[in-house]
A and B are shown apart, each in its own frame.
Chain A
Amino acid sequence: MKRGLEGPSPDERPSPAGRRNKQGIRIDPEVEATHKPRRTVISALVTHEPGVLSDVSGLFSRRQFNIESLTVGPTEDEDRARITIVVEEPDPGIDQIEKQLRKLVPVISVRELEPDAMRRELALIKVDAKRPDRVAAVADMYDGKTVDSSPETATIEVTGARRKIEAAIDTFSQFGIREISRTGTTALARGTDRTAAPESTAQPADEANHDDQYTPADDD
């Protein structure tokens, strides 16, 4: 018996002219246009309770969001904690991250910070102390502080934007780095701009705003 169904075969059917890119956006079939990943800071205000951090980090790994750092700490309100996440994703991915975070019940509000937001990170850099004067000079150069010194080692604390930390580590490497510990980025919006509105999870009116303007990757 004949298997399957009757009807025009695939090559006899009309084909539509259009096409979408991998992010589901309709595009001119002649040009390849995918959104390029960019680095940005997402800040989330959450209820200060056990399990929230694992909910957030689990969400990121489960949905394969590209995450660079995640920090968490208390805020001016003892019932609230702030989670600061540095991500590198294309615009639709950033949009999706914000929306998925908002769906978590303990998450109170979420926003992407402006490129001019204050971003800081702290690093502890332990180096060989064979040339203490030069170590001190480099520490000075990066407004660093020597927090521990022993006959063999010196540990310097440096705070600043990510690039500054990277540059400091680069410079300290000449002394022989033994260990490094970094905190990841924490951030606040500038001036009267609120990092996160405390009691609102309402959607912005310009929901799903995929404009074609891309902000270049920004690091302070």
Chain B
Amino acid sequence: MNSNRSKPHGLLAEFHTAADIFEAAMRCRDAGFTKWDVYTPFPIHGMDEAMGLRKSPVGWFTFCGGFTGFFTGMTMIWYMNKFDYPLVVGGKPLFTPLYAFPVSYEMTILLSAFGTLFGMFFLNQLPKFYNPLFKNERFKKSTDDRFFLCIEATDPKFGTDVTRTFLTEKCHAAVVELVED
């Protein structure tokens, strides 16, 4: 990692109001940047659209989890009660979706929740133990009263000087800092 010391992580722009960063996000979106993100102390309504974010695909993980849960529940009860160890309880049939339903339903919810949580982790590449932004002193205010926008160096449109000019002049950033990797 030592050899990468001087490699830039990206340009960190600081803003003082939600309106400023909202405007800046729209400009970054329209300038065609792809590897960038916004860090704010609280959620800003409409930021998803301003950043041009697609709808999150996490719902598909939820659906797959729920689907798996439902059929796991049904299959498990069928296997245990009808196939592996047939046992009459309360004069009820050995298997019917009716009594398997409450368990399958709970399994649906459980695995949907797992699908959502772990799908989100997967899509966000979590857990991530290190991010160069954490080293930046100024960035600590992103949980207080400052709004940050970081364009990463891996972005194909990134160029240290050009992007710095873009952030200060077009986006009216208060401060622009180069963050090293």
Q: Do A and B bind each other?
A: no
Binding site for A on B (CB under 8 A): none
